[in-house]
Amino acid sequence: MTSDDAPLDASLLALLRRLDANPADDALCAVVEGLALADRWKEAVERARVGIHAGAPRELVMVALANGAVLAGRGDRAMKALDQIGAAGRRESARLRVRVLAAEGNTAEAATLAERRCVEDPGDAEMRALLRELRGKRLTAGLDPLDTLDRAERLAAKGELGRAVRVARRVAFANPADRLVRSVLSKLEMLLQEEPEGSNDIVTRMPGFAAP
């Protein structure tokens, strides 16, 4: 029996019958993931192709296909699926690509991709968590630069831009080569420059690294 003849459970068979009636049914993602997990790769790819042609969202289907491959321990297949949508697509696809790279031992490449995505999408908390894991480093003071950046952004969200900039400058000073830190600091400094004159945080326009 070949891998694509592997038996399927009743629930997956029921979903397959739905796809026979409508290839773009909402069950498509669950089906392609289940087929990939069951090592029925060719069938999973064909179901994905037909469903996408019938109008199913390509990116979501490919992410499901890749996720099934990852669960089956086939990172090579997962990357093939993710190549169809690119690393700069939806958050889920980018995160999965980082996980596949890390699982295959390509830690440096995974960290580079995670850092780039964090710069492009600083609001992706899950990607930041992945980057923390991949970096595996801490500041001399025992602080994670990403945790400290989170603090700076929380201060900015409360309107305390001056304090936020000071916190970000400290992190930038300790991590001069960190692209994400520089990106966050630049955005915060730009917001501070745009702050109306006479705000209650005006004293923080002065340079320096005074404690918040």
Contact 69, 101 (CB under 8 A): no
Does residue 114 fall inside a structural domain?
no
**Structural domain that includes position 189:** 138-212
Whether pTM > 0.75 for this model: the answer is no
Give the amino acid at 10.
A
Does residue 43 fall inside a structural domain?
no
Does residue 5 fall inside a structural domain?
no
- Cβ atoms < 10 Å from Cβ of 200: 9
Count how many domains the chain has. 1
pLDDT by position in tens, the chain (length 212)? 445 566 778 888 999 999 999 999 999 999 999 999 999 999 999 999 999 999 998 888 998 999 899 888 888 899 889 888 765 557 888 888 888 888 777 777 888 888 888 888 888 888 988 888 887 633 333 445 565 677 777 888 888 888 888 878 877 766 667 777 778 888 888 887 876 554 444 333 323 333 33
Give the amino acid at 198.
G
Instruction: Report the C-alpha gap between 159 and 172 in whole angstroms.
Output: 21
Does residue 128 fall inside a structural domain?
no
